[in-house]
Amino acid sequence: MSALLCDLLRRDGQNHLNLFNNRQQPKKKRKSRTAFTNHQIFELEKRFLYQKYLSPADRDEIASSLGLTNAQVITWFQNRRAKLKRDMEELKKDVESILKKKAMMNEDDCPKNLVVSEK
């Protein structure tokens, strides 16, 4: 290999290293996943049964009583509403499937050449 080619490759490699080293580092590290206690989950679920959305005052009250942050309570309720929505969609599909099967069974049970006469 010529000396010129070697020099170009070395400089090119250094430029790539410089580009890699000049990248900005992430500013903030993500917080680790919160492991809720059984008591916290029980209380959150109990509240969710009758209140799907919380006012700021309710959020503050729940957070302080359970030793959680407002953000954790907000996130828990958002995730729980999303789970409820998924569960309801799955239940709807299951009911539709059962009704469809039942309708097909009723069609199969009925004779095709049945004549109904009125008297």
Contact assessment for residue 59 and residue 21, using Cβ atoms and an 8 Å cutoff: no
pLDDT tens over the chain, length 119 residues? 566 555 655 666 555 555 556 666 667 788 788 899 999 999 999 999 999 999 999 999 999 999 999 999 999 999 999 999 999 999 999 999 999 888 888 766 656 665 666 65
Quick one: pLDDT at residue 103? 84
Cα–Cα separations (whole angstroms), residue 27 to 5, 12, 30, 75, 81: 39, 29, 10, 22, 31
Which residue, chain included where needed, has tokens 């299951």?
94
Which pLDDT does position 17 carry in this prediction?
54
pLDDT of residue 4: 59
Q: Provide the whole-model pTM.
A: 0.62
Q: Give the per-residue pLDDT at 108.
A: 63
Integer Cα distance of 72 and 86 in angstroms? 21
Is residue 48 a contact partner of residue 77, using CB atoms and an 8 Å limit?
Answer: yes
What pLDDT sits at residue 62? 98
DSSP category for residue 32? P
For the domain covering 35-106, report its CATH number. 1.10.10.60
Q: Can you tell me the distance from the alpha carbon of 12 to that of 18, in angstroms, rounded to the nearest whole number?
A: 10
Q: Domains of the chain: which residue ranges?
A: 35-106
pLDDT of the residue at 105: 80
Handedness of CA 80, 81, 85, 86 (dihedral sign): negative
pLDDT (0 to 100) of residue 11: 63
